[in-house]
Amino acid sequence: MTARPLRLVAFGVVTLLAVALCVRLGIWQLDRLAQRRAQNAIVTARGTLPVVDVQGIRTMDTTASHWRRVSITGVAEYDRELVHGMRTQNGSPGVHLLTPIRPLGGAWGDTAVLVIRGYLYAPDGRTIDHAAVTEGDTVRLETLVLSYPATQATSAVRMPSNARAVRTLDRDTLATMIGRPLAPFVLLALGDTVVRDISKPARIPPPAVNEGPHLSYALQWFGFATVFLIGFVIFARRQPRSRPQ
């Protein structure tokens, strides 16, 4: 076998590997799209359900209550409030207020519910004046039920530069810092998301119900696979044919 056929075979093997990789990544993006559509269907369906009191989901499975709209009335413990640091809203640095609220009624005992109360501008992304952004000792909020994100045990949760700031929402770490047991879900306070005064908290927009970029990414990967195949065909046709001796 001469050098030219060897080069053609080598280029063909590389092309097949590149095409296989691109097709696999395209299929992966389509799988992500299917998952996103399934989640959107759940969010839309649960968004049409009537608002229930947080007492109604106290014993409900977390998966079943995810994305439900609930109201909570309770005592906000601002002295135990934390912040989720290094957040942004409209390109501005800030924090998310993590306020433990003890629902009224006594059924929760010492357990508090962690409420993401809003976004607040903070130049360093971690330091705020907690006393200046209270909303009253007893609050009533309409909220959206979220799940605690999965975190790795080795990830650094606390921010060493601020004793009341965290990098991620790890339930066990937050409960230790707050000094109370926490409910197995997080509540996102709903309301006006426009930042009208940077010294006051604004509500955080709920997760958008859209399909994201997965379809366009899948088409791009399939397009790359097609380009590799076309490139190989052009390369092969330009190779001179060997003549019989």
Enter the pTM of the model: 0.78
pLDDT score at 184: 92
In this structure, the dihedral spanned by the alpha carbons of residues 67, 69, 73 and 79, taken in order and rounded to 10 degrees, is 40
Looking at residue 140, the DSSP 8-state letter turns out to be: E
Nearest to 101 by CA among 139, 142, 157, 61: 139
Q: What radius of gyration do the chain's Cα atoms show? A: 26
pLDDT score at 1: 53
Residue 216, SS3?
helix
pLDDT score at 182: 96
Evaluate whether 162 touches 155 at the Cβ level (below 8 Å).
Answer: no
Distance of CA 2 to the CA centre of its chain: 55
Cα–Cα distance measured from residue 164 to residue 80, given in angstroms and rounded to the nearest whole number: 9
- Identify the burial level of 28 via C-beta atoms within 10 angstroms of its C-beta, where 0-12 means exposed, 13-18 middle and 19 or more buried: middle
pLDDT score at 174: 95
What are 77's two structure tokens? 């413990």
Cα–Cα distance measured from residue 50 to residue 126, given in angstroms and rounded to the nearest whole number: 36
All structural domains of the chain with their residue ranges: 3-42+213-237, 51-189
Cα–Cα distance measured from residue 56 to residue 65, given in angstroms and rounded to the nearest whole number: 10
Cα–Cα distance measured from residue 243 to residue 227, given in angstroms and rounded to the nearest whole number: 30
What are 233's two structure tokens? 């065909």
The residues near 146 (Cβ < 8 Å, ≥ 6 apart) are 66, 67, 116, 185, 186, 187, 188
Nearest to 174 by CA among 159, 155, 161, 158: 158
Cα–Cα distance measured from residue 206 to residue 146, given in angstroms and rounded to the nearest whole number: 10
Cα–Cα distance measured from residue 220 to residue 28, given in angstroms and rounded to the nearest whole number: 12
| pLDDT tens per residue across all 245 residues of the chain | 556 677 788 888 899 999 999 999 999 999 999 999 988 888 888 888 889 999 888 777 777 788 899 999 999 999 999 999 999 988 899 999 999 999 998 788 899 999 999 999 999 999 999 999 999 889 999 999 998 987 665 567 889 889 999 999 999 999 999 999 999 999 999 998 888 888 889 999 888 888 889 999 999 999 999 999 999 888 888 776 655 55
pLDDT score at 161: 85
In whole angstroms, how far apart are CA 199 and each of 90, 95, 122?
Answer: 15, 12, 9
Pairing of the two strands 82-89 and 165-166: parallel
